[in-house]
Structure 1
Amino acid sequence: MTQTTSSTAGAVESRDGTRIGYWKTGHGPAIVLLHGSMQSARSNSMLAAALADDFTVYLPDRRGRGLSGPHKPDHDLATEVDDLAAVVEASGAERVYGVSAGGLVVLEAARRLPAIRKVAAFEPALLTDGTRHTAWLSRFDAELARGDVAGALVTSMYGLELAPPFLKVMPRRLVAALTDRMMRSEDRKATPDASTMRKLAPTVHHEGVILAERADSVDLFADVRAEVLLMGGGKGLPFLAPGRDALAARLPHCRRVEFADLAHDAPCDPAGPSPRGKADMVDRVAREIRAFF
């Protein structure tokens, strides 16, 4: 792991027998950090390092990544909760954190798992606009099935409105070609165990499935009895902000924190060279999590 504290690998077995691997670091009460889309356990390394002096941090790989087993055809949000439950039970953790799709999973887990007492979520991917942000799934699946990984990733990027402004004015074919070149370059440099864009691409289908499953279902979270720290960024994904507003109004025990200058990926390790101020961004989020936990 790309962090200064030492870490060890471990694994548990989910309800359906799938291996869920994790990294473990630090000392103190157990917490679980769950990564988001197109990420792996290693994507929370900086955040784990910032919390390791106070907590024993568990970093699971969600299915299809790193240390964990593959997805199954019937994968859904309940599967994600079962996977997290296995880590929670083995670690004894009562505190969990998730970002983006991982944030949606930890909130759903708080509905179903009484053992979870506190939940922190950064820009959880709860949709409030029906199928608008999941209508790309069928095209994504078709492109992936014919081996057009770059095209599939571009489809999901546009479908989820993740494309930066300069890409929106470029021909789609050119964007796909640039994405393919980027993946080829990453493949050449990657270590055998690296979670590259090409390896992570199939997981995007399952992210779309769980986002669609829980879209327009915010009322269900009124059942959550755990305390919730709900975080977001002023430079985050605009289409996720209504979900946070709706959650804040329905969660019985909710504390809201908005970082005016942070983006959606602020708490996560950078995919490439660390940009200026990245450590400070992670530390700011870590301070809120530490105080809440």
Structure 2
Amino acid sequence: MTTTTAGTVTSDDGTTISYREAGRGPGLVILHGAMQTGHSQIELARALSRDFTCYLPDRRGRGGSGPAGPAYGLDREVEDLGALLRATGAPYAAGVSSGAIITLRTALARPGLLRKAVVFEPPLNGSGARDHLPRLDRELAAGRIPAALVTGMKAARLGPPIFNVLPRALLELLTGLMLRNEDKGVAGDEPTFRELAPTLRQDLQLVAEAGGDLTVYRPVEAEVLLLGGTRSPAYLRAALAGLERVLPRARHVELAGLDHSATSNAVRRGRPERVAEEIRGFLTGS
């Protein structure tokens, strides 16, 4: 078992960012996506730990990190990742979903800070996310967590096809049953969806803010590995294909049979060892 330690850094606005650390070798920051904390890719970090020192931050508003704050937005997330990269000297970062958007924006806004970046399925479809924000805000304010999770899934377009035809009332009922099952501890050490539901607002805001203009990433200097699964939604695969055409130093790899959960721990249907193979090969040049 790889030993995991904890640490903190202070971002530009004074917010504390907590992180886990595991492994040895060159530094690699693994930045989680929506409905996750740093723990959500702990098995991916362990699979990479013999070759890299992996840093797993809790993005602001989650886990051991400070609050999102009133001025929350993509700039704050870029500052947080930048603070961790500077403090640890890590030359590499791997971003998952909304974390991939942050990783790309950091490579764009902080040239020279990252030598290589891994980008796993960034949801670059801002308009759809923006449309769902008012409803999500109302549901969270009313404490209607199952309803908010359904809204988040519809915004992210990550549910199975049947998700689009089932009545919303039934979807909320099924989501409530899932939450109650999680409350019994079936997810082990995983952060629960009930705990993380309020952070959906942050991730939808990020996606809305990032928009869909991929040409803004053309100046990125870092080498970029674009990763995605063949079973992921079409719009995520299309974003990776678009980035491949825009980024000057990009390599695109499709993981056969995997989907948007691929980087997650096994209890969340992830295949971290398979993802680790691609990341290791890209970062080591093998």
Q: Work out whether the TM-score is over 0.5.
A: yes
Give the superposition deviation at 1:189. Answer: 2.5
How many Å separate the matches in 2 of 1:154 and 1:237? 17
Moved runs in structure 1, 4+ residues, more than 6 A? Answer: 190-193
TM-score by length of 1: 0.91
> What does residue range 4-153 of structure 1 map to in structure 2 within 5 Å?
4-113=1-110, 114-127=112-125, 131-153=127-149
How many Å separate the matches in 1 of 2:53 and 2:229? 26
Question: Paired residue for 1:174?
Answer: 170
Is 1:263 aligned with 2:253?
no
Unpaired stretches in structure 1, ≥5 consecutive residues: none
Give the superposition deviation at 1:181. Answer: 2.5
Q: Which amino acid aligns with 2:150?
A: V
Question: Paired residue for 1:282?
Answer: 272
CA displacement, residues 232-253 of structure 1 (integer Å, 9 cap, x when unaligned):
1110121112211211111111
Q: Which amino acid aligns with 1:209?
A: Q
What's the RMSD between the two structures over aligned residues? 1.8
Quick check: 2:40–2:190 contact (8 Å CA) kept in 1? no
Question: Paired residue for 2:231?
Answer: 235
How many Å separate the matches in 1 of 2:93 and 2:196? 23
Gap change, CA 1:180 and 1:75, over 3 Å in 2? same
Question: Paired residue for 2:160?
Answer: 164
Quick check: 1:64–1:200 contact (8 Å CA) kept in 2? no
Quick check: 2:187–2:267 contact (8 Å CA) kept in 1? no
Gap change, CA 1:122 and 1:178, over 3 Å in 2? same
How many Å separate the matches in 1 of 2:127 and 2:252? 26
How many Å separate the matches in 2 of 1:210 and 1:270? 27
Give the superposition deviation at 1:64. Answer: 1.6
Give the superposition deviation at 1:31. Answer: 0.8
Which deviates more, 131-140 or 109-118? 131-140
SS at match of 1:131: helix
Question: Paired residue for 2:282?
Answer: 292
How many Å separate the matches in 2 of 1:124 and 1:143? 25
SS at match of 1:202: helix
SS at match of 2:90: coil
Q: Which amino acid aligns with 1:9?
A: A
How many Å separate the matches in 1 of 2:228 and 2:154? 21
Which deviates more, 183-192 or 113-122? 183-192
Unpaired stretches in structure 2, ≥5 consecutive residues: none
CA displacement, residues 26-53 of structure 1 (integer Å, 9 cap, x when unaligned):
0111110011111111111111011000
Number of equivalenced pairs? 282
Give the superposition deviation at 1:191. Answer: 9.8
TM-score by length of 2: 0.93
Quick check: 1:66–1:194 contact (8 Å CA) kept in 2? no
How many Å separate the matches in 1 of 2:226 and 2:174? 36
Q: Which amino acid aligns with 2:96?
A: V
How many Å separate the matches in 2 of 1:24 and 1:245? 32
